[in-house]
Structure formats: C-alpha cells, structure tokens
Amino acid sequence: MPELKECSGFQYLKDTRFDRRTIQDRHRPFIAEVETFKHYPQAGKVALPRTWQLTEEHLSPLIENRRSVRKYAQEPLSLEHLAFLLWASQGVTGQAGRYLFRSTPSAGALYPVETYLSAHSVAGLAAGLYHFDVQHFALDPLTEGDQAEAVARACLDQSFMAQAPVVFLWTGVFRRAMHKYGNRGVRYILLDAGHICQNMMIAAEAVGCGSCAVAAIYDSEINQLLQIDDEEESILYAAAVGKKLIP
Ligand SMILES: Cc1cc2nc3c(=O)[nH]c(=O)nc-3n(C[C@H](O)[C@H](O)[C@H](O)COP(=O)(O)O)c2cc1C
C-alpha cells in the first residue's frame, strides 16, 4: 500500500498549494487560452422553453428531502423541467461587460465545465446525446438514437442509469481555467462541477424529480461517446435524473 504522500493525487494538491510566503514567486506554466463557449454550427438547435411552472417551495425541505434516487417513475421528464434543471445548473443569470454570469459560481467567471445530456425519455425531445448551448439556451443534437445503455455501461455498468429519463454529463475544458490558474486550475474545475451538480439536484427536488450523482465512470468511454478530444476536455461527473416514484 503506498503512503498517502506517495499518491499522485496528494502530490498534486501539495504542488498547487498557495502559501503566503511564496505566492508572489510561484511559477505558472504558460497555457494558451481557449474559447469560453463550445460551438456546434452544424447542429440544428433545439430551443429550450423558459416556461417551467413552479409552485413556491421553501429551500429547507428540498435540502432535507434530497436523497440519491436510483429508481424512477415510468413517465418521461417534461422538456420544461429539463430546461429548468439546465437553467438552475448552468443558466445565464447576469451580465457584466463580456462576462455572462451563471447560476453557479466559477473561479474567474471562466466556466470551464460543459454540460451534455443523454436523453432517454424526455417528452418532445428525440432520444440521443445533446450539448447544452448556454448562450442560446438551446440544445445541440450530437448523436441521434438512445444512448442510455451505452452511457450506463460507461458508468461502470450501473444499470439504473439506463432507466433514468435523462443523464447529465459534465466535462471540464481544462485550458479554460488552466490558462489563468495553471495546475491549480484543475482544483477549480472540480469545484465548479460540484456546484453545478448540487444546484441541479436541489432543482430536481423542486420539480418532483430524484437524482443520483455518479463519478464511477470509464472516462475514455464517455469521452468517445461525446466525441471530444480528451487531451483538451474530459468527463468529470454525471447525474441520473427522473420523476420520483409515487410512494
Ligand atoms: C462524488 C460522488 C460520486 C458518486 N458516485 C456514485 C456512483 O457512481 N453511483 C451511485 O450509485 N452513487 C454515487 N454517488 C451517490 C452517493 O452514493 C450518495 O450521495 C451517498 O450514498 C449519500 O446518500 P444521499 O445522496 O442519499 O445523501 C456519488 C456521490 C458523490 C458525491
């Protein structure tokens, strides 16, 4: 068994520590910049509705009641509720100059996390893989046809994921944060993914859905499904979502 200090993950945290005495002299590698938004010009966009109807809910029961849910009602998720979850997790909620601020915080407002969806059963949305276009509040269709089984296989064969009406897939575009923050930027990307998933899960509670965060992933299998260049961008985190079973 290796000692904690011999593990590369621990070494990485040590290497990227800020220290009051050395913060001015720290060396940051040069990493070229990359665009804030991914574009899929070939994809015919699916516009997302902003018409979700929410009954007023207090926050504390949503937090209290959230449990990881791995069994879902047979009914499809509505496009309105899916749009709400996308807005709650990565929607644009403000602007200052060229910065579009979003519903979750991000170091330097760089937003290095991209959202993809595996739609299995969403009313009015063809099954397949989609990219969430934050700027236009729309979905870019990537792969036609239900990929739920393939996504579940790529998440360490967790079969409950194939039953979920939708699976959120969050990737990190490393250069977006590392251009500014160097190696330490990797920490910030992981923190962003946590904020995003948590907002999505609480929003899911508010619309009668259950969700389960998933990090047990065969990374390269999901990256291949999403057709991303995994030298630049890679899967970080996922979450399965569906309407709760009526007890
Ligand atoms: C980073 C992270 C990774 C997780 N990965 C999985 C997973 O791969 N499969 C799964 O069924 N649950 C996964 N979970 C859910 C946890 O098992 C769950 O949050 C934990 O048992 C506590 O239960 P609760 O969420 O109902 O409070 C993950 C949770 C987190 C925060």
Confirm whether 68 is domain-assigned.
yes
State whether the beta carbon of 215 lies less than 6 angstroms from ligand 1: yes
Q: Is 81 helix (H, G, I), strand (E, B) or coil?
A: helix
CA distance linking residue 27 with residue 24, whole number of Å: 9
* pTM score, whole prediction: 0.91
Confirm whether 161 is domain-assigned.
yes
Nearest CA to ligand 1 atom 9: 214
State whether the beta carbon of 214 lies less than 6 angstroms from ligand 1: yes
Q: In what order do the strands lie in the sheet with 166-173?
A: 46-47, 138-144, 128-133, 113-119, 166-173, 233-243, 209-214
State whether the beta carbon of 167 lies less than 6 angstroms from ligand 1: no
Q: What is the pLDDT of residue 1?
A: 67
Confirm whether 31 is domain-assigned.
no
State whether the beta carbon of 47 lies less than 6 angstroms from ligand 1: no
At 174, which amino acid appears?
Answer: F
Confirm whether 55 is domain-assigned.
yes
Q: Which atom of ligand 1 is nearest to the CA of 70?
A: 11
> What's the number of domains the chain is made of?
1
Confirm whether 133 is domain-assigned.
yes
Confirm whether 74 is domain-assigned.
yes
- Give residue 181's domain range: 45-243
CA distance linking residue 247 with residue 237, whole number of Å: 29
CA distance linking residue 28 with residue 180, whole number of Å: 9
Confirm whether 2 is domain-assigned.
no
CA distance linking residue 76 with residue 73, whole number of Å: 8
Confirm whether 75 is domain-assigned.
yes
Residue written as token pair 């500014």: 180
Helix and strand element counts for the chain (H, E): 8, 9
Q: What is the pLDDT of residue 181?
A: 92
Per-residue pLDDT tens listing for the chain (247 residues): 678 778 788 788 778 777 778 878 877 889 999 998 999 988 789 999 988 766 667 889 999 999 999 999 999 999 999 999 999 999 999 999 988 999 999 999 999 999 999 999 999 999 999 999 999 999 999 999 999 999 999 999 999 999 999 999 999 999 999 999 999 999 999 999 999 999 999 999 999 999 999 999 999 999 999 999 989 999 999 999 999 998 7
Q: What is the pLDDT of residue 39?
A: 94
State whether the beta carbon of 63 lies less than 6 angstroms from ligand 1: no
At 91, which amino acid appears?
Answer: G
State whether the beta carbon of 68 lies less than 6 angstroms from ligand 1: yes
Strand 128-133 with 138-144, pairing: antiparallel
The enclosing domain of 92 has a CATH number of 3.40.109.10
Q: How many CB atoms lie within 10 A of CB 242?
A: 27
Strand 92-96 with 233-243, pairing: unpaired
Nearest CA to ligand 1 atom 5: 214
> Which of 68, 221, 222, 241 for a ligand 1 pocket mutation test, highest count of atoms within 8 Å of Cβ?
68
> Which of 67, 212, 235, 237 for a ligand 1 pocket mutation test, highest count of atoms within 8 Å of Cβ?
212
CA angle 163, 168, 184 (to 5 degrees): 140
